[in-house]
Amino acid sequence: MKDTTAFTFICMGLQLVVLTVVLGCSTIFVPHWNATEYNDLVTIAAESSRGTCQTEQVETLSKLSTHLRHYSEFLPNNELMAAGVAQMDTTIQTLNTGGIIGSTFCSLKLRTIHTMATSLAKASGEKQP
């Protein structure tokens, strides 16, 4: 009887230790503020607010977005932000087709991109200590 009681307490103790380690690690590895990510998001928001849809603007947005997508993807503990940046990048790349873009379509896309970039920049800024 004493052996099973001791074994039960040891098992319960091990479970508590494992639970503490797992929960403790989830609070240790929180997303950190990253100045490069934040600055790129603000730059995309500013660039998309111009709303001109000229080739240079679309190419600039495309380059910034592609860079940011890859950068965010490899930051540790940044999965949610990376997913949002990937969606924004997909939206931006629809403008960079090399063909003629209608002004109404482009204006709507730029508004969407601006909203996405602004929301992501706010989320990124909230990670700042």
What confidence tens digit (pLDDT) does each residue in 37-70 have?
Answer: 999 999 999 999 987 788 888 999 999 999 999 9
Closest to 108 measured CA to CA, from 89, 118, 94, 120: 94
Which range (5-9, 75-79, 119-123) has the least confidence?
Answer: 5-9
Residues 57 and 111 in one domain: yes
Domain count, the chain: 2
Q: Are residues 41 and 16 in the same domain?
A: no
The verdict on 25 and 77 lying in the same domain is no
Judge if 63 and 5 occupy the same domain.
no
**Residue 96 · residue 62 · CB < 8 Å:** yes
21 pLDDT more than 90: no
DSSP state of 29: S
Q: What is the pTM of this model?
A: 0.72
Residues 52 and 96 in one domain: yes
Specify whether 16 is located in the same domain as 72.
Answer: no
Q: End-to-end distance of the chain based on CA atoms, in angstroms?
A: 53
Asked if 62 and 103 sit in the same domain, the reply is: yes
Report d(CA 102, CA 43) in Å as an integer.
24
- Residue 2: its pLDDT value, please? 55
**What is the rounded average pLDDT of the residues 7-16?**
47
The per-residue pLDDT for range 61-107, each reduced to its tens digit, is 999 999 999 999 999 889 999 999 999 999 999 988 877 778 888 88
- Name the residue type at position 46: A
Amino acid 40: pLDDT: 95
> Within this chain, do residues 26 and 40 fall inside the same structural domain, yes or no?
no
| b/e map 6-19, b = 16+ CB within 10 Å | eeeeeeeeeeeeee
- Structural domain including 117 reads 35-125
Across the range 15-43, mean pLDDT stands at 63
